[in-house]
Amino acid sequence: MVHSNEWTGLGVPIFENEQRTTVSNLSFVIETNRFVPLEDNILDGNSEIKIFACGLGKNKKLVNLIKRAFCGEANVKISASDYFIMYEQTNGISKRYEANAYYAFFKTGYRPADYKLKKQYEKQYPNVKIDWMDALSKKQPSFKGDAYNYYFNIPVKWVVTFASENDRPILKTESDKTDWLLEQTDLMKIINKSNIPLDKFRWQFKFKDYTFDDGVTEPAIVVLGKSSVMCVLKAK
């Protein structure tokens, strides 16, 4: 059991005191042999790994990398749910259940009024029968199957370096910054894959020197984006 979401990976680090587990950093430690698969006498073709983590099953790349990290080429079964994993206590007994998740997005720090979020849900999920206003008013379900909400943030960091200060563009207006972002092809692929609209991120631009791991420093544009995800949950 571990915290997770389909965008930012697992809420635990690969190694102690490091960043949370994502596709990029797990790929790196596998390729550099920092994470060595378990031996065949520990995991084999009869083994199965089950991960209880919210929405992890939708991140197929990460699930497959976890299998590779622990199992190498061994034919081990691995599974993770597409749904959110929730727990409730009844008479001191904890029970696990799965919940459907419905998403609305907004710029972090600029939460819209509930009626505007309601409109976003109605447009995104026209056939879902949920009282969105009621769900947005609850942090916990009132009964099993009741809809409620919680939210989390999705961060993005993008760095572009330049050979000299003169090569670094001057982006004075918000329009200039948006146009420059749209020109960043690889960044746009990441944003499009997330299914979060570009205008639902709060973007901050920093014009500064950037130091690489090898100590080399170059002029750079560092862009930090953050989107908040309002998540309405309803037990299956």
The model's pLDDT over 42-63, given as tens digits with 9 standing for 90+, comes to 887 788 999 999 999 999 999 9
> Who's near 194: CB < 8 A, 6+ residues apart?
7, 154
**Token code pair at residue 103:** 């998403």
pLDDT over 90 (residue 94): no
**Token code pair at residue 173:** 């207006």
Residues 222-236 pLDDT 10s: 999 999 999 999 998
The 10 Å Cβ neighbour count of residue 132 is: 22
Provide, rounded to the nearest whole percent, the portion of the chain with pLDDT above 90. 73
Q: Say whether 110 sits in a helix, a strand or coil.
A: coil
